[in-house]
Amino acid sequence: MKTYTFIFLYFITFFALNAQKLPKGFSYLQEIDSTIQSELRYCSHNNFVGVPVDGYEDDVLITSTLAAKALKKIQTKLLKKGYSLKVFDAYRPQSAVNHFVRWARKANDTITKKQYYPRLKKRNLFKLGYISTKSGHSRGSSVDLTIVNTKTGKELDMGSPYDFFGSISHISYTKLTEKQKKNRKMLREIMSKNGFRPYKNEWWHFTLRNEPFPKTYFDFPIE
């Protein structure tokens, strides 16, 4: 028994010593609410850049602690109705934003065009507001997310995929089915009622009102 206890304590100490020390005011979302689902696209090849993005060194979600606690509150309400949040991105290092900017300036790199921006010219992504040299995500309180039906495990139909560049992703877009409109409204209302404001060009993007770091753009890695 003493041997097993020693081994257990050894591993606890090892992971504690090797875990990333986050800046004050930040938390791992999983530690605040482990029921929130996630799919960190930028840690994989399944994103508009087509490769893992700089700064995403591990498949974990980090947010400001205030944002994480607000998401936990939302999750509690959704679970009672048979739904769950699914987060695609939260805190984003400035190095990742810089990676997006470099990608956007490579006119010949259009491998993901068919999937993510089929009707747009890549050179216009800056002007249209899809790519920027600064991102609210780097302040730690913006999240990209959707809602999942916990019985089926499927994402609700929002009319366009996550990270799709086009007017169909705008929150003002009206050429949707009634079900798609209802789903977007449900997401927008529960986020808005619990402290988040939407972004006009992306139905999935929300930022915490009264965010704790409104003028600070962080660049520590996600690990």
Name the residues annotated as catalytic.
202
Q: What is the 3-state secondary structure (H, E, C) of 171-194?
A: CCCCCCCHHHHHHHHHHHHHHHCC
Cα-flanking dihedrals φ and ψ of residue 96, to 5°?
Answer: -70, -40
Among 154, 208, 219, 214, smallest CA distance to 29 is for: 208
Residue for token digits 């739904």? 83
Provide the phi-psi class of 82: left if phi over 0, else alpha when psi is between -120 and 50, else beta: left
Rounded CA-CA distance 60/62 in Å is 7
Cα-flanking dihedrals φ and ψ of residue 10, to 5°?
Answer: -65, -45
Cα within 13 Å of Cα(13), Cβ side: 6
